Chain A
Amino acid sequence: MKKRSDRFSPAEYGIFAAVTIAVLFACVCIGSVNIPLEDTAYTIWAALRARIRSWITGAVPALPEGLTASIILSIRLPRVLCVAMTGAALSIAGAAMQGLLKNPLADGSTLGVSSGAALGAVIAIAFGITFPGLPFAGTMVMAIAFALLSLLIILGLAYKLDYSLATNTIILIGVIFSMFVSSLMSIVITFAADKVQHITFWTMGSLQGTGYTDALMLFGALAIFGGAIFLHTRELNAFAVGEDNARHIGVNVRRVKLIVLITVSGLIGVCVSIGGVIGFVGLVTPHMVRLVVGPNHRRLLPASLFGGAVFLMLADLVARILLNPRELNIGIVTSLVGAVVFVFIFYRSRKGR
């Protein structure tokens, strides 16, 4: 077998970035109205230049105008940016969880963490929980808090029932927890019947109509929580070999576990509060990536970051154009792909015993 280097070279990062940007441009160009690449590139460039000039001079930016420009700048670009970062965030959250629990099937959607986060967001909407001055904070904080709470409940139950956290135990608990959460969700909806339309959005998953503020939130979450995960690649490698082994070689297992659980909850909570439940992204991407770059988190995490962005942008593209002019929810596309991959991984992991 060929020797794998411990980390990627700058050239490899360049390729990843180039592919991601190419897909991003393609997704901005293609849609119900196709816009030529030159126009797209020119519009984005002109808008960027105007923004930078206005920062320097303090004048009102002279943004490009017209229908094409407004489709690109106020609809497609912010949406595609949000999609890319949601994909990246969910993928590294999934990769981190799979390493921590040494289980390739662990993910926000399979464990029920995403549903838990959605429940938090729904409660915030139904009962009007907000923080003064921060319009986003209500749903976001509740989503993060409920994601963490869900993880603690699920893992608490799993450790109680089966210390080795076997695949079957995790899946079973995930299924039961998801059912429990969806019944709670129904109760909340009964109390807030006037907001049903608004609430069902969280359970379906869509990034339609997202703006630059959402993109900024996602970027912040990626920088803080994603950054914290990237600081623990070696610990995640140790956990992926085994938790007892990690303790024996000197990893502070309690601390690392707590940090990873909090950061994963943060990532999932922010994603859910912006785009609702988009299932299986954190399962599909790391799995595909692992087949190519191996399980070492020094390579797995960066590759999942880019791979997740590309995967979700393509899924969103399919959701937009498949039944054009009608639009599918992105969560439906990822779940279709995800369910197949899930069965495949489950089959392989059982055969491996």
Chain B
Amino acid sequence: MLEVKDLSVRYGDLTIVDGLSFSVAEGQWLMIVGPNGAGKSTVLNAITRGADYTGQVLFEGEDIRRKKPADLARCMGVLMQSHYVSYSFSVEEVVSLGRYAYSSGFLAGHGRGDTDAVEEALALTGMAKQRNQSVLTLSGGELQRTFLAQVFAQDPKLLLLDEPTNHLDLVYQKQVFSMIAQWLKTPGRAVVSVVHDLSLARAYGSRVLLMDRGKTVALGGVEEVLISANLDPVYRMDVRAWMRQMLSQWE
């Protein structure tokens, strides 16, 4: 579905992402992990045309640079880690914006399909009851679920997530991840997400890309990549021992 070839992103003299290549197939959930400053978020930014890059990004074989913004939005949707809203739009208004790519022009209102998609997204994320509430009054978790509903309403084939639960407490973390896992069950879809939490990467990922300083350290299945031989040099600590120690606090 997505193919990234020799992707590099530079800001001036600084190389943030350096010659990255990977691909994502239907039904897969690719986890991009690595320490702070590894360039994980920049990879997502480049794929969504938010940063200039060299190399190639192909979606279903077609160069994304040749797609119009609305076409690209029908292919892939993005959920960012945090949102700062400054106007009192209602939850439903924000979710409905997800349908932008499907109707264009001044008089294009909401068609039947748009209404259905918005309803479904609201139901799937449990935000239906709060549909008329102002987004300014939502908690962090509710706000994140609102934007998750927006990207569900957008109905992309590929979902890109940038640390989607970074600011959320455990309940919402679990909720958001299981909602996305549920979404992925429909055929023809795939997910790429940047995560900090290696346990989450293990639990939900089907493939892992481990990055350090803009370069690929390892790429493959969860069991191949998330091993001490790969992780310890990158994080400069005994990752497995630390994780076990954390877990033992509960026993």
Contacts and interface: CB of A to CB of B under 8 A. Distances in A.
Interface of A: 1-4, 6, 102-104, 164, 230-231, 233-234, 237-238, 240-242, 244-245, 247-253, 290, 294-296, 349, 352
A245 B97 CA distance: 9
B89 A295 contact: yes
A230 B105 CA distance: 11
Interface string B145-163: 0010011001000000000
Chain B interface extent, by class:
35 or more
Given A164-B84, A248-B77, A352-B136, 14 more contacts: A1-B90, A1-B134, A104-B87, A230-B106, A240-B86, A240-B87, A242-B85, A245-B150, A247-B50, A249-B77, A249-B101, A249-B150, A252-B69, A296-B93
Contacts of A352: 86, 136
A94 to B, nearest CB: 14
A2 B134 CA distance: 11
B128 interface: no
Contacts of B222: none
B94 interface: yes
B89 A251 contact: no
A250 B101 contact: yes
B90 A4 contact: yes
A189 B48 CA distance: 50
Contacts of B147: 245
Nearest to A233: B106
Contacts, number: 90
Contact of A249 (B68, B100, B132): B100
A244 B81 CA distance: 12
Nearest to A252: B69
A4 B68 CA distance: 32
Given A248-B48, A251-B100, A237 B106 contact: no
A250 B74 CA distance: 8
30 contacts: A1-B132, A1-B134, A4-B132, A104-B86, A231-B106, A234-B100, A237-B89, A241-B85, A242-B85, A244-B80, A245-B80, A245-B97, A245-B147, A247-B49, A247-B69, A248-B48, A248-B80, A249-B150, A250-B100, A250-B101, A251-B69, A251-B70, A252-B68, A252-B69, A290-B87, A294-B88, A294-B89, A295-B87, A295-B89, A296-B89
Contacts of A248: 48, 73, 77-78, 80, 151
A316 B121 CA distance: 49
B133 interface: yes
Contacts of A245: 80, 83, 97, 147, 150
B205 interface: no
Nearest to B71: A250
A9 to B, nearest CB: 14
B72 interface: yes
A338 to B, nearest CB: 20
Closest 5 CB pairs of A and B: A250-B73, A250-B101, A295-B87, A250-B70, A248-B78
B48 A247 contact: yes
Given A249-B73, A252-B69, A238 B97 contact: yes
Contacts of B132: 1-4
Nearest to B101: A250
A253 B84 CA distance: 18
- The winner among B48, B86, B98, B132 for most chain A CB atoms within 10 A is B86
Contacts of A349: 86
A2 B150 CA distance: 21
B50 A244 contact: yes
A349 B154 CA distance: 30
